[in-house]
Structure 1
Amino acid sequence: MQALPKSRVLRFVEQAFHLARRAVARYSSKFSKRRYSGHQHILLLCLKVRKDTTHRTLLDELVEMPRIRKAINLTELSAPSTLCKAFDRLGMDGWRVLLNLSITRLPTIGVVGIGASGIDRSHASKHYTKRTKLTIQQLKVTLLVDTGANAILDLHVTTTRKHDSKIAPSLIERNTGKGAILIGDKGYDDQNIRALAREDGTRPLIKHREFSSLHKAWNARLDADLYGQRSQNESMNSRRKRKYGAFIRSRRWWKQFRELVVGCLTHNIEKSL
């Protein structure tokens, strides 16, 4: 009987498992019971985001996925609470290492766009929140996207209404050497941002706010085709919400930040297949 080809899900699992083995230790502690490895936990957490489901539903579906279990050497299924605790243990630094490794398998071109979007922190219906006069604050997510590979290089998350010009410097400093051109809209019109980008050898392609005829002239001289690639950020935010949900499930703010990083990691792995 002819062997079945690898499905996209199986290739995703193999790729995510390979990245996990490169990034983190097999076990989180020398006192670990060693029933499940950290690599398996990371893979299952990425698979949960990819399927936009819950821990309990994912583990239930894994019962009927023998090829997936074999690919990650999973001989028995854990309880949903085990995955929750594994998510708590792995900090933001570990997820960022995984995100950086996922970029290495993508054909980046160095043209980087920066843009922000909001995401809901609860899945309560608008009708319910309106009737109960409940206010649910959104998270502001700023993505740094390579427009050639449609890869997410980095992200910044905040619970406040922090201005774009105050967020961009930290992203630029954290991603030194990853971009030759930085594209941004008028929200990033700040001389400090331009100076910081040039120090890194990056050409800032940011529109000026038009307070004078000189600003209008500078904007008219921008490369329209190159600047048009900034729309990749809006497309990326829209695609992320459609595929992985327009809201986040975690209740604690630090877990919400991690959940968004896992979503970006999952997107990059999908693009690399």
Structure 2
Amino acid sequence: MSQNAVTGEPAPAVEKGDGGYADWVIVSIHCLREYLNQPYRRLLDILYEMPGISAKLGLSVDQLPDFTTVCTRKQDLKMRIWRVLLRLSVSLHELGDVQAIDATGFKRHQASRHYVLRVGYNFDDIKTTALVDCDTSVIIDIHCSMKQPHDTQVGRQVLTRNLAQLTTITADKSYDWDALRHELRDAGIRPVIKHREFYGLDKAHNARHDENVYHRRSVVEAIFFALKHRFGETLRARTWFGQFRELVLKAAVRNIEQAVKL
């Protein structure tokens, strides 16, 4: 799967000279790190005692990279690779007929005051929006922000780039936007999104919703709880782009774990 996430033909695991370690090897090691929930130093020590796993990476234990190399290369890999990995993990499952979207916050290690001012942090947590399948509990897509964009704007971005995966989408009132509903209907998707009740017509719209379908959005909250219980509530990365990569990787690893359990 890591090989498929990298553009082009998979390179040899390691090449002498400037080639270094192949991108897919670094991606695989990071997946193992999240799965085992270990720091970089400890992870490489574990792999040194597991020659069978190292062989799957095309490496002998003497060829394993230094932990500093693994850490640095993660920042060098483009975000596209991690998103492709997430999509590949979704393809391991057969999605159901109802999907849901919601948001939560993940804590982060405190960065320096200088870095906070330079990048414009204005929110203590990483705002994380997840699109999930209610039948399989698979995380289809994930969006992260260090600020507080409105849920309707984030929801539109996440949903429109995953239209082919959606059948019925359910969400709470924070995603109440008629333009979003129209866009979903035009794509053949049924929106079950509650209206904020300003007028009697809004109450009438809400009364027409299938409550059983609407309340399936609670699956998102259960997945957020499972993610935080499995990997912890605090992200290890200190930079915003590192935190985004970490969250996408956690989602992909969870999807793979769910597929293995089936």
TM-score > 0.5 by shorter chain? yes
Deviation at 1:31, TM superposition (A): 8.7
Helix, strand or coil at the partner of 1:120: strand
Deviation at 1:62, TM superposition (A): 1.3
Q: Which of 154, 158, 168 is the matching residue for 2:155?
A: 168
The change in CA–CA distance for 1:54 and 1:30 in structure 2 (over 3 A counts) is: closer
Amino acid at match of 1:162: P
Say whether the 8 Å CA contact 1:120–1:138 is kept in structure 2: yes
Q: Separation in 2 of the partners of 1:189 and 1:116?
A: 14
Deviation at 1:110, TM superposition (A): 3.6
Helix, strand or coil at the partner of 1:112: strand
Amino acid at match of 1:74: L
Could you say which residue in structure 1 is the equivalent of 2:38? 53
Helix, strand or coil at the partner of 2:163: coil
Helix, strand or coil at the partner of 1:149: coil
Deviation at 1:159, TM superposition (A): 0.8
Q: Separation in 2 of the partners of 1:235 and 1:66?
A: 37
Deviation at 1:142, TM superposition (A): 0.2
Number of residue equivalences: 245
Identity %: 35
Could you say which residue in structure 2 is the equivalent of 1:137? 124
Q: CA RMSD in A?
A: 2.2
* Deviations 1:230-258, CA, capped at 9 Å, x for gaps: 00100111111111111111111111111
1:262 matches 2:252: no
Say whether the 8 Å CA contact 1:99–1:265 is kept in structure 2: yes
Say whether the 8 Å CA contact 2:35–2:253 is kept in structure 1: yes
Helix, strand or coil at the partner of 2:44: helix
Say whether the 8 Å CA contact 1:40–1:74 is kept in structure 2: no
Helix, strand or coil at the partner of 2:108: coil
Deviation at 1:217, TM superposition (A): 2.6
Q: Which runs of 5+ in 1 are unaligned?
A: 1-18, 125-134
Helix, strand or coil at the partner of 1:150: coil
Could you say which residue in structure 1 is the equivalent of 2:52? 67
Task: Give the TM-score taking structure 1 as reference length.
Answer: 0.84
1:89 matches 2:76: yes
Q: Which of 13, 16, 21 is the matching residue for 2:3?
A: 21
Could you say which residue in structure 2 is the equivalent of 1:147? 134
Q: Separation in 1 of the partners of 2:17 and 2:71?
A: 16
Deviation at 1:72, TM superposition (A): 2.1
Q: Separation in 2 of the partners of 1:69 and 1:37?
A: 14
* Deviations 1:53-105, CA, capped at 9 Å, x for gaps: 21111111112222212222221221111101220121111111111111111
Could you say which residue in structure 2 is the equivalent of 1:179? 166
* Deviations 1:194-222, CA, capped at 9 Å, x for gaps: 11211221110001112233322322221
1:42 matches 2:24: no
Helix, strand or coil at the partner of 2:21: coil
Amino acid at match of 1:80: F
The change in CA–CA distance for 1:31 and 1:63 in structure 2 (over 3 A counts) is: closer
Deviation at 1:47, TM superposition (A): 1.1
Deviation at 1:46, TM superposition (A): 0.8
Equivalent residues in 2 for 1:193-208 (5 A)?
Answer: 193-208=180-195
Q: Which runs of 5+ in 2 are unaligned?
A: 112-121
Q: Report which stretch shifted further, 188-197 or 211-220.
A: 211-220
Helix, strand or coil at the partner of 1:105: coil
Q: Separation in 1 of the partners of 2:75 and 2:97?
A: 34
Q: Which of 210, 219, 230 is the matching residue for 2:217?
A: 230
Say whether the 8 Å CA contact 1:172–1:196 is kept in structure 2: no
Amino acid at match of 2:232: G
Could you say which residue in structure 1 is the equivalent of 2:115? none
Deviation at 1:155, TM superposition (A): 1.1
Helix, strand or coil at the partner of 2:243: helix
Q: Report which stretch shifted further, 35-44 or 103-112.
A: 35-44
